[in-house]
Amino acid sequence: MITRYVTFVALKIGRALLTLLVIATLTFMVLQMAGDPVTVLLGPDATDEMIRGFSERLGLDRSIAAQYGLYLANIVRGEFGMSFLHARDALDLVMGHVSATLLLSGTALLLALAIGLPLGAYAAIRHGGTGDTIAMTFAVLGYCIPNFFLAILLMLLLSIQWPLFPTAGGETLRHLVLPAITLGTSAAAIIARFTRSALLEVLGSRYMVAARSRRIAPWRLLVHHALPNAAIPVVTVVGFMVGGMISGSIIVESVFAWPGIGNLLVNSVANRDIPVVQVIVLLSGATMVVTNLVIDILYGWLDPRIGRRRHAA
Amino acid sequence: MQPETDHQIAAAPAPDALVATGSPHRWTIAQIGAAAWLALCVFLALFADLLSPYDLTAIDLRARMEPPVLLGGSWAHPLGTDDLGRDMFTRLVHSIRISILVAIVGTLIGAVIGTALGFLAAQVGGLVDDLVMLLVDVQAALPFMIIALMLIALFGTSLTLFIAIVGIYGWERYARIARGLALSARERGYVTAARAYDAPAIHIYRRHILPNVASALIVNATLNFPEIILVESALSFLGLGIQPPMSSLGNMLAFGREYLLSAWWIAVLPGLVIVLTALAVSILGDRLRDRLDPKLK
């Protein structure tokens, strides 16, 4: 049993490492296709000395295979080159923006859980009723209103009509409110939808009918029997949101000028600051892969059946 | 937590309230409204040049930021004007045309590439199959928005490249569906029979397998379409998609941001069009899904 679990975890880790390697390889290939790496990675203002050091570091005079090896080695060593927009080490620069993104995404996720879970559960219990309709209309609207439009509506309402919160920046906690609401709303809509459908499925299952026939109190039925079994799909969705937090916050950070990774990415793309873009691409891939790994391992632990299935990997 | 990622997981059907209750053949009010809105959009897109009262770039500085007619504007500009006095209705009509065009071409590219790779993986098997599935996994691990931004950073913002990038969106879902369905269809009698007659593989896929798996692929396309509209407008909103002087719903919204204080309609009108269109396609997509593929419900 234990060995089987260890094998399962080892397979998952191997798969995650392979995915990271493929992501790095694809990035390398795209960089190769983009043309002369000197102009792509160093920018237009590079001096001769910079170009010489750079060519040496990337092995530009050597074969593609050797360059690829050096590329991977540089990633492992954490050497991604300099941001030519900010004249700083690209990795340092990106790491300096991590905490802001974590703060924003974390707040938004808590908000989304606080709204989405009860809303979805309520809709499932009142299935087909007016409460269900209202809750699910909210969910559909939250899904169809793009972040950037919701951001603008909130600005119109809460910054311009009633000047309660600032529209841009990240200095105080008051700056956090609007981006967190924007980001949290669409997430709440998704969580509500998934909670509802997962709970509806559980509520219709045989063991729930059996439990109901034994006259177990409704709240006990919900808390002890239905919710734990409905948790797995909801955990999957939430895990997906955590793993995708960098890409998820790109637009909101950019609209509200929140000083996180997403905002940095948009500015770097607009200014073609490739070393920074590259770090963020790899970091975002790594975040997703690691989150998926953690969730997979958690599943294997929560539900022993998952580890045993042959094609679980 | 944002369109591009949540759509990948939010492939759940819309609530019953907005979809058919009772007979699947009866149209609900929401579905009729959705169909009417989409028909209007297609009509506007097809006849954009005939319908627009002004030239797309006609600037009238004496009529800057005029409000829509119901908010005190005049019938000369029924939906108002923007910061340069350009007619909002004209710009909206052209934006709808661009957005629909990009979404249709993008959906087609993704569908063709994904389906072809899925069929290839199912037919050849072995290493090719492993490679395709690995790419599918990698694509699922790397959010589309990140890939799109990287490609834009490296290759710039031309319209052709932008459509190609948008076309990549969602290919992995077609590949997964096509591969799975092809694998099970290959075992069916009609395919075995065709193979017994020495029909070439391409012929078998085109004439026998594709028609039998098409409904699932079409359903996936209806999920993909509104997402592509959102992705396109998000990238254009960030200033990295459709570039001026061409106008798209996303970049209109972005420019309108500057004038929220004095002329909010510049931003709000294109936003409303995006929301209504995404809503309409997903309502009709649910209907189509129920009709074509009851199993998915």
Query: Token pair for residue A284?
Result: 């975002």
pLDDT given for residue B217 in this prediction = 85
A125, A312, B8, B106, B242 from B161: Cα distances, Å? 48, 37, 23, 11, 10
Round the CA-based radius of gyration of chain A to a whole number and report it: 24
A20/A285 Cα distance (integer angstroms): 7
Sign of the CA dihedral A167, B70, B85, B88? positive
Contact residues, chain A, for B237 at CB < 8 Å: 148, 251
User: What pLDDT sits at residue B14?
Assistant: 45
Taking CA–CA distances from B249, the nearest residue in chain A reads A149
Q: Which of A15, A17, A140, A195 to mutate to test the interface with B (most CBs of B within 10 A)?
A: A140
Instruction: Give the pair of three-digit tokens for residue A138.
Output: 């909210």
pLDDT of residue A306: 56
Give residue A29's pLDDT: 85
- The reported pLDDT for the residue numbered B108 is 92
- CB distance A59 to A66 below 8 Å: yes
Q: What is the pTM of this model?
A: 0.80
What single-letter amino acid sits at B241?
A: G
Is B156 in a helix, a strand, or coil?
coil
Q: Which ranges of B142-264 does DSSP label H, i.e. alpha helix? A: 144-155, 159-168, 171-185, 189-196, 201-203, 210-237, 249-256
Q: Which two tokens stand for residue B12?
A: 């759940």
* A101 and chain B in contact, CB less than 8 A: no
If pLDDT is split at 50, 70 and 90, which confidence band does A110 have?
Answer: very high
Q: Is the pLDDT of residue A311 over 70?
A: no
| CA–CA distance, B153 with A268 (Å, rounded to integer) | 8
Tell me what pLDDT residue A245 has: 86
| Distant-in-sequence, close-in-space partners of A188: CB < 8 Å, separation ≥ 6 | A111, A112, A113, A115, A116, A119, A142
Neighbours of A5 (CB within 10 A): 15
Higher per-residue confidence, A60 vs A245? A245
Which uninterrupted H or E stretch holds B132? Answer: helix B126-141
Chain B residues whose beta carbon lies within 8 Å of the beta carbon of residue A256: none
At residue A104 the predicted structure's pLDDT band, cuts being 50, 70 and 90, is very high
Q: Peptide bond preceding B245: is omega within 30 degrees of 0, i.e. cis?
A: yes
Asked whether the beta carbons of A157 and A166 are under 8 A apart, the reply is: no
Q: pLDDT at residue A38 above 80? A: no
Question: Which CATH code for domain A90-270?
Answer: 1.10.3720.10
- Measured CA distances, B101 to A57, B50, B95, B228 (Å): 45, 17, 10, 11
pLDDT of residue A1: 62
* Cβ neighbours of A284 in B, within 8 Å: 142-143, 146
Q: Do B143 and A288 touch (CB under 8 A)?
A: yes
CB pairs < 8 Å spanning A and B: 192
Neighbours of B240 (CB within 10 A): 22
What tokens appear for B25 in the block?
Answer: 């053949």
Mean pLDDT value across chain A: 82
B209/B190 Cα distance (integer angstroms): 9
Domain definitions of chain A by residue range:
90-270
3-state class of B86 per DSSP? coil
**Chain B residues whose beta carbon lies within 8 Å of the beta carbon of residue A102:** none
First to last CA, chain A: 17
Instruction: For residue B141, give the nearest of A132, A241, A292 by CB distance.
Output: A292
Q: Is B28 exposed, middle or buried (0-12, 13-18, 19+ CB in 10 A)?
A: middle
C-beta separation of B269 from B79 below 8 A:
yes
Between residues A300 and A258, which one has the greater pLDDT?
A258
Predicted interface score ipTM higher than 0.85: no
A19 in contact with chain B, both atoms CB, cutoff 8 A: yes
CA atoms of B172 and B169, how far apart (whole Å): 8
Q: Which of B145, B150, B253 sits opposite A30 (nearest CB)?
A: B150
Residue B3 in tokens = 């369109």
Distance CA B136, CA B113 (A): 12
pLDDT band of residue A197 (cuts 50, 70, 90) is: confident
Instruction: Tell me the CA end-to-end span of chain B in Å, nearest whole number.
Output: 24
Specify the pLDDT at position A272.
Answer: 81
Q: Which residues contact residue A67 at a Cβ distance below 8 angstroms, ignoring those fewer than 6 apart?
A: A58, A59, A60
- Compute the distance between CA of residue A215 and CA of residue A209 in angstroms, rounded to an integer: 10
Q: DSSP readout, chain A?
A: -HHHHHHHHHHHHHHHHHHHHHHHHHHHHHHHHTS-HHHHHH-TT--HHHHHHHHHHHTTTS-HHHHHHHHHHHHHHT---EETTTTEEHHHHHHTTHHHHHHHHHHHHHHHHHHHHHHHHHHHHTTTSHHHHHHHHHHHHHHHS-HHHHHHHHHIIIIIIS--S-SS--SSTHHHHHHHHHHHHHHHHHHHHHHHHHHHHHHTSHHHHHHHHTT--HHHIIIIIIHHHHHHHHHHHHHHHHHTHHHHTHHHHHHTT--SHHHHHHHHHHTT-HHHHHHHHHHHHHHHHHHHHHHHHHHHHH-HHHHHSGGG-
Contact yes or no for A245 and B271 at CB 8 A: no
Q: Which of B263, B274, B278 is nearest to B237 (CA)?
A: B274
Handedness of CA A175, A178, A183, A188 (dihedral sign): positive
**A154 contacts chain B (CB < 8 A):** no
Interface contact flag, A251 B151, Cβ < 8 Å = no
pLDDT tens for the 297 residues of chain B, in order: 344 333 334 444 444 444 444 455 678 888 888 899 988 888 888 877 777 777 766 677 666 667 776 666 666 667 777 777 677 888 888 888 888 888 889 999 999 999 999 988 888 888 888 888 888 888 887 888 888 888 888 888 788 888 888 888 888 889 988 888 888 877 777 777 777 777 777 878 777 788 878 888 888 888 888 888 888 888 888 888 888 777 888 888 888 887 877 778 888 888 889 888 888 888 888 787 777 755 543
Range scoring the smallest mean pLDDT among A71-75, A240-244, A270-274, B289-293: B289-293
Question: Using the beta-carbon criterion (under 8 Å), do A187 and B1 form an inter-chain contact?
Answer: yes
pLDDT of residue A310: 44
Distance CA A134, CA B3 (A): 22
Q: Residue B13's CB: how many other CB atoms inside 10 A?
A: 17
